[in-house]
Structure 1
Amino acid sequence: MVTWNRSTVRNDDVELAVFHLDAPDAADERPTVVLVHGWPDSHHLWDHVAPALGEHFRVISYDTRGYGESTRPDEVSAYRLEHLASDLFDVIDEVSPGEPVHVIGHDWGSVQLWEAVTTPGAQDKIKSFTSVSGPNLDYLGEWAQGNLTNPTPGNLGRALSQLASSAYTAFFQVPVLPQAFFNAFGSEKIWTEFLHAVEGTPRENVSFAPTLKEDMISGLRFYSANIREKLAKPDPRPTTIPVLELVNERDIALRPAIYSRSHEHANKLWRKNSDTGHWLPYTNPDYLSESAREFIQMIEDGTSSSPNTIDRARRLGPAQKLGGKLAVITGAGSGIGRETAYALAELGCEVVLADINAASAEETAIECKAKGVLATVYELDVSSTEAVNEFAERVRRTHGVADIVVNNAGIALAGSALAASEEQVDRILAINLRGVIAGSRAFGRQMVERGTGGHIVNLSSASAFTPQRDMALYSATKAGVLMFCESLRAELADYKIGVTAICPGIVHTNITSTTEIVGLEDADGNRKRIDDFYARRGFTPDKVAKDIVKAILANKAVVPVTPEAKFGYLSYRLFPWGSRLAARVKLAK
């Protein structure tokens, strides 16, 4: 159990119960962090977050007015956001006189912190703000009105999606009924089971004040006092205080699209998206505390970037679906790997680029950095499982746990399977199949342990389902990748980790010009003819990269890319005998 040390702060007629994680110590010079809860919680919301933060900072929380051990004014007007912001400033003056603090807010706690950081002079009291599942209501009103005045199908769809998610707020503002409902069903047991059913919140992580039912009813005044006015007459004010938005993509109440205007008003904005739900302090307290710690330390150090956190002030906008995510790409020095790195960087990902040829990966990194993101290069030979495991651990220590992993590195081998040497067989198996398995396992374990989802993309090939007489060994490795992906996808589904097999057909990359050909005369001539054919085909790797991005966003299982790959995927399932006959055609002479 967490032990909180209680004190009291007064703001006119309101007494606020303030809680210190440790006994107040005037000699403690660590940065101060103030945690602000939302509905229907109390300071106990932070019981599983505060200890991790307490290893680095002075941690303070308080029961906001209307909750827990604080005063519950009767007048609805007493719960307007300007009064809530005033409460916060009084708490800060008491716990950290003359020194600005870092603030973290969830739900209505985040909403009132947005009000505070957009109040003139707030920079004298607040050093940074980590926002979880709570928008600026003025920005939300501006977003909603913009979608309604520009009623494109996309805008209307986003607005209707949020309207459906927020339907409960209308019920909360109806007289009498919501009070009666929570009086009847607002028990700790029912609420615990609700959270567990809705987003899998571990029952043992849920911490409530003894006043939970009273808090549910009293907290309804937050909705009545603020929502209608803010949505009808938004007054979006700017802030210069650094803000980190932790966006939960499975939030049942708040759709990610509503944060798309934040960057227009917060000129120092960072963002991290994760496949998580609304009650992040309960479901993933370690992820929340580590993300906040990284961000706060970054601000304290005066730097512009930190592990897994990207400075989005210049480019963050509605299109930055992957903004703030960490992507790892192997074989990033050329071809599909390079173009995938460009595509992910364009969408706001920090990219970690691995290649056996570090110099070529450095060239990729230069272009990625030009797109405004962090890019780091590592030399890696994926044929060594030990090297892959060491690389994954180094990425975790240096950058954080990857959100996206693209196991792209691969080689080709053409000609007779019987004529290939044992060394050639071992090498193609080690790189194309074992390398993919090693990368998926190493990074997959980290994603599972973190508990906030992720996505693994593995490069298979149309050769996985279109047999060819001169590509037996290559096809075997790619078929192995395909079935590995299908099976791993099933295994990781419970952890919200997607797995995709990308199956390109004829794509012109440098792999064709370096393909080893065995068992045939005039290997150099055959290689040139194959390379020339691929060049004439004209399907470039950037088109594959676009499909990879689409697959990540849509969480697709198997993606045949080129027209011939799509035809081959269909025909092999419907007419396998036709594929077997076609396999007898000689591609090389």
Structure 2
Amino acid sequence: MADWHRFNVRGDGVELAAFSYGLPGETTPGKPVVLLVHGWPDSHHLWDLVAPQLAEHYRVYAYDTRGFGESDRPAQVAAYRLDTLAADMFAVARAVNSAGKTHIVAHDWGSVQAWETVTTEGADDAIASFTSVSGPNLDFLGEWARGKLANPTPSNIAQALSQVASSAYTAFFQVPVASDAFFRAFGSDKVWTEFLHFIEGTPRENATFGPTLRDDMINGLKLYRANIRGKLASPKPRPTRVPVLEIVNDHDIALRPAIYERTHTHAANLWRKRTTTGHWLPYTNPDYLATTAIEFIDAIENGASGTPNTIDRAHVTGPAGDLIGKLAVVTGAGSGIGRETAYALADLGAEVVLADIDLAAAEATATDCKGKGVLATAYRLDVSNTGAVTEFADQVRNLHGVADIVVNNAGIALAGSALAATDEQVDRLFDINLRGVISGSRAFGRQMVERGAGGHIVNLASAAAFTPSRDLGLYSSSKAGVLMFSESLRAELAEHKIGVTAICPGIVHTNITSNAQFAGAADEDATREKVDGFYAKRNFTPDRVAADIVAAIRKNKAVVPVTPEAEVGYRVYRFFPWASRIGARHKLAD
């Protein structure tokens, strides 16, 4: 167990067991004070792996909320109303920091209680900041649900039903005899450890419970019975001026990300970080949670985040895009699909880091992205240089943080005879198209795995990867390598909740065709002009590919054929490969 030292605090009519991490005399006066608040069915031991990291920077305290752990356990359901729990939190905050403001980090029902606290009048005089993990404001949630039902569009109904399905267990929790008996039978440390491991991969050794777990499970059900029906039936949302960081977990078993979409209408100072993590973040990803909380608290204390821009990009000033708080890296961002993808990611609120061998082109894209109200930075990068790619990934991590999304888009075209191509042309093609993708995926993928908060890698393949052609043998080989590498990497990284997508466009008009080389062509310029003209007439623009890239990230798709001819070619090659082989004999420039 962690180095907790108990003392008592008088709450609203109950004795609360409070704890300092380390003896109070061991902490340095003047450091910011952080108060950790657990949810159901936990106790202060929820924070055993987070508190030591926070204690390197702050004076750290926690407490068992009423009904849990070593605190008093009122028998009446009414004793667990949120206004009473908020009074408890204020009492503990005053006890641990009577002369200053306290930073709150709270999870699950602890976060629900903290929302009640920070929306209480005068809260900004006592609370310096609030980091919310997997626990909404119930008044905000009730308002959100009523708004969806009042405007029953297919999207709104789908979002409401998704949350109803995720919250179905709360109906069972309202039934005292049945739910109490269930947890009396199955509420053991071993069962709960295996549940967390099965649901979201929580390392078994991270699940640190106190000796009161079964009793906490049963008694803590009073939180649900005292608050949910009343709050959702008659929400009374109140504003807060306390700075709030919402950590939104895409894989939260109980709470869908959509329910947070209107928080900004009540929280005047709101930041949001969204990752492919699960509900029990303090157990499953304690390092990520501690790092994120430290960055936010430092930003509030010092006016600047510990790691440049990681918190700055998460600031919510209006209706937030799906990717606000995320960092996206795009190679080949100076034109075509790379540029349009940068625009699409910026439109959704992501900070974008843009790389291209043509720095001026990347800077132009960055300027346009800044006009959309996001942070954007351009770098020169030759993806054929593996060492340069690794250095670039390290530079991004040091200056911007670990990327959440990486789009390995940079590529070139080489058409014509495989026999006529020079060795230099072949080396350059594979160094850029295949090795560049592998290098980018490896460098950024390692960082994502180390962080432990998921991510997504998008690799640009091509319909040529599964459409053989006598004139595209070398190009097709490079893209087929990208496709198979992406499928294999997806399998490797799945356990880390890192998605990998291979995007396979067909005939898309970009400057890749106007710059393509045609090995063995009698008149290369004329051939290039003819092919480029055909692509121009096809008029499938790169912004449409970018839209499919964003959709693939959202839905974590494995392989995405983009154009109609790519869709057809993908299926023909899978089910009628002989037809693909016959078609491969057709000359590209005919």
Q: How would you bin the TM-score normalised by the shorter chain?
A: over 0.9
Displacement after TM superposition at 1:27 (Å): 4.4
Superposed CA offset, 1:216-245 (max 9, x none): 222122112111110111011111222111
Which residue of 2 is the match for residue 136 of structure 1? 137
Which residue of 2 is the match for residue 347 of structure 1? 348
Which residue of 1 is the match for residue 4 of structure 2? 4
Superposed CA offset, 1:59-105 (max 9, x none): 11111111111122222222111111111111111211221121111
Asked if 1:315 is matched to 2:318, the reply is yes
Q: Tell me, what secondary structure is at the counterpart of 1:406?
A: strand
Which residue of 2 is the match for residue 577 of structure 1? 578
Which residue of 2 is the match for residue 389 of structure 1? 390
Which residue of 2 is the match for residue 169 of structure 1? 170
Which residue of 1 is the match for residue 19 of structure 2? 19
Contact 1:8-1:16 at 8 Å conserved across structures? yes
Matched to 1:5, the amino acid is H
Paired with 2:446 and 2:524, the residues of 1 have a C-alpha distance of 42
State which drifts further: 29-38 or 445-454.
Answer: 445-454
Matched to 2:548, the amino acid is D
Matched to 1:156, the amino acid is I
Structure 1 residues 464 and 85, CA gap change in structure 2 (3 angstroms)? same
Where does the alignment leave 5 or more consecutive residues of structure 1 unmatched? none
Paired with 1:376 and 1:30, the residues of 2 have a C-alpha distance of 34
Which residue of 2 is the match for residue 460 of structure 1? 461
Displacement after TM superposition at 1:470 (Å): 2.2
Displacement after TM superposition at 1:494 (Å): 2.1
Structure 1 residues 424 and 254, CA gap change in structure 2 (3 angstroms)? same
Q: Tell me, what secondary structure is at the counterpart of 2:24?
A: coil
Contact 1:20-1:61 at 8 Å conserved across structures? yes
Displacement after TM superposition at 1:34 (Å): 0.9
Which residue of 1 is the match for residue 272 of structure 2? 271
Q: How does 1:396-407 map to 2 (within 5 A)?
A: 396-407=397-408
Q: How does 1:334-483 map to 2 (within 5 A)?
A: 334-483=335-484
Where does the alignment leave 5 or more consecutive residues of structure 2 unmatched? none
Which residue of 2 is the match for residue 250 of structure 1? 251
Structure 1 residues 348 and 94, CA gap change in structure 2 (3 angstroms)? same
Contact 1:308-1:326 at 8 Å conserved across structures? no
Q: Tell me, what secondary structure is at the counterpart of 1:127?
A: strand
Displacement after TM superposition at 1:533 (Å): 1.8
Asked if 1:205 is matched to 2:206, the reply is yes
Matched to 1:228, the amino acid is R
Matched to 1:584, the amino acid is R
Paired with 1:35 and 1:89, the residues of 2 have a C-alpha distance of 13
Q: How does 1:430-579 map to 2 (within 5 A)?
A: 430-579=431-580
Using the size of structure 1 for normalisation, the TM-score is 0.96
Contact 2:273-2:314 at 8 Å conserved across structures? no
Matched to 2:122, the amino acid is G
Paired with 1:476 and 1:182, the residues of 2 have a C-alpha distance of 57
Q: Tell me, what secondary structure is at the counterpart of 2:179?
A: helix
Superposed CA offset, 1:378-434 (max 9, x none): 221110111111111222222222221110001111222222221111111100000
Superposed CA offset, 1:278-297 (max 9, x none): 11111111111111111111
Contact 1:295-1:309 at 8 Å conserved across structures? no
Matched to 1:123, the amino acid is D
Which residue of 2 is the match for residue 90 of structure 1? 91
Contact 1:115-1:136 at 8 Å conserved across structures? yes
Asked if 1:306 is matched to 2:303, the reply is no
Paired with 2:468 and 2:12, the residues of 1 have a C-alpha distance of 79
Paired with 1:395 and 1:256, the residues of 2 have a C-alpha distance of 27
Matched to 1:207, the amino acid is T
Structure 1 residues 566 and 175, CA gap change in structure 2 (3 angstroms)? closer
Displacement after TM superposition at 1:308 (Å): 6.0
Contact 1:76-1:225 at 8 Å conserved across structures? yes
Superposed CA offset, 1:295-317 (max 9, x none): 11122221487326624422334
Contact 2:12-2:87 at 8 Å conserved across structures? no
Which residue of 2 is the match for residue 236 of structure 1? 237
Structure 1 residues 60 and 569, CA gap change in structure 2 (3 angstroms)? same
Paired with 2:225 and 2:588, the residues of 1 have a C-alpha distance of 72
State which drifts further: 110-119 or 53-62.
Answer: 53-62
Contact 1:138-1:234 at 8 Å conserved across structures? yes
| Ranges of 4+ aligned residues in structure 1 off by more than 6 Å | none
Contact 1:271-1:309 at 8 Å conserved across structures? no
Q: Identity percentage over the alignment? A: 68
Structure 1 residues 116 and 41, CA gap change in structure 2 (3 angstroms)? same
State which drifts further: 132-141 or 250-259.
Answer: 250-259
Contact 1:307-1:398 at 8 Å conserved across structures? no
